[in-house]
Copies of this chain bind each other. A is one copy, B any other.
């Protein structure tokens, strides 16, 4: 006999995050029923085989091998997608939405690339597409961007939104390790994939910035429009120099909106030690933002992991079962709006590190190039390095990106310059 009050959901992909969501519903189901008035049941679990169910001790009769069977099950109201990747997730989500089921997804890559295709399908079928779990694990920043400080124009958003790179940089910072060593440590602990490209090259952060920035600025911020630079070139020497100058190095995702000018970039950055983001360490993440009335806000928590991300999924499942779906309040076209200008020549402080011949007048020549390009120097040091070489380090005042890049091109051509070793922006 069907229990009328039971609310059935399904999970597609019982990996780490899907398993975390299952665990939460299994362990806190009574609590959710008491506090939310919802008796949530996982009715079916779709995966390639039933092995993941058996491995977790889940009743194998929940197993479903056919996405069409899932779509046809009228008792299932909400489907959780925790498969990852673009396909077959995109096809499967589309089938679910077309059959009128709301979808809860943790899939930032899919969203960053195809949100504009999926949302109209959801809207056409009157169901919801929820994705709190796609960004910053259990930190409820998507909910906040949609349903808090709605009267504020968000002017900037700045986040540490990739756990892997923050773990690596924190490890380099606290243990004075090089990048390769710290990456190895992250891999051995499962914080980094065997192929870490998506994390360490900033793709993952760019996907998330595309989603968060679009919500924050109420306009499409396609991930392809985001300047992206990873952490693979950050050296132990950079971190030591940062410390000496009163900074930590973090991979930041920065978005800004000023009128119709929008700026979006992912890159390592010097963060002043007294900034709240500087103390966000290890696998923790945080999003710092500024609204024109609320001022500065920060949301901090675990950026990844089975249970934090599972918590966000369960939150969305409850939302999907309780509230009417919400859709974007901007034209979700997947492209930059025609009214919006993307700022490539943004303004930032810069840390520059150059190896030069240890000869008289070199520091002066470098300084002149910077000055000729309108780049003002905040701090400079020159120290002997190996043999007859010296290391020159500059910290600039806020300057235009293009002016700094032009300066570096000119500096690289100077006879006395051996190499431009590091260019890291300053928050």
Asked if A36 and B152 sit within 8 Å, CB to CB, the answer is no
Segment at the B interface, from A164-172, A179-187, A262-270, A314-322: A314-322
Question: Is A243 an interface residue, CB under 8 A from the partner?
Answer: no
Question: Is A25 an interface residue, CB under 8 A from the partner?
Answer: yes
Residues of B within 8 Å of A319, CB to CB, are: 147, 150
Question: Is A120 an interface residue, CB under 8 A from the partner?
Answer: no
Question: Is A5 an interface residue, CB under 8 A from the partner?
Answer: no
Asked if B329 and A300 sit within 8 Å, CB to CB, the answer is no
Most buried by B among A151, A294, A305, A323: A151
Question: Is A295 an interface residue, CB under 8 A from the partner?
Answer: yes
Q: Please report the C-alpha to C-alpha distance between residue A132 and residue B150 in the assembled complex, in whole angstroms.
A: 13
Interface of A is mostly: mixed
A and B contact pairs by CB, cutoff 8 A, 19 listed: A24-B293, A25-B151, A28-B292, A31-B153, A34-B218, A35-B218, A132-B148, A138-B293, A140-B147, A143-B148, A147-B319, A148-B312, A148-B315, A151-B314, A151-B318, A291-B311, A293-B314, A298-B300, A299-B300
Residues of B within 8 Å of A291, CB to CB, are: 138, 311
Closest to A297 in B: B301
* A301-B294, A311-B294 known; A152+B28 contact, CB < 8 A: yes
A288 to chain B, nearest CB (A): 8
- Counting every copy of the chain, the complex holds 2
A214 to chain B, nearest CB (A): 12
Question: Is A409 an interface residue, CB under 8 A from the partner?
Answer: no
Residues of B within 8 Å of A284, CB to CB, are: 296
Known: A140-B297, A150-B314, A296-B302. 11 other contacts (CB 8 A): A36-B329, A138-B295, A140-B147, A143-B147, A284-B296, A294-B307, A294-B308, A294-B312, A295-B302, A296-B300, A298-B301
Residues of B within 8 Å of A315, CB to CB, are: 147-151
Q: Please report the C-alpha to C-alpha distance between residue A14 and residue B170 in the assembled complex, in whole angstroms.
A: 48
Q: Please report the C-alpha to C-alpha distance between residue A209 and residue B309 in the assembled complex, in whole angstroms.
A: 27
Closest to A313 in B: B151
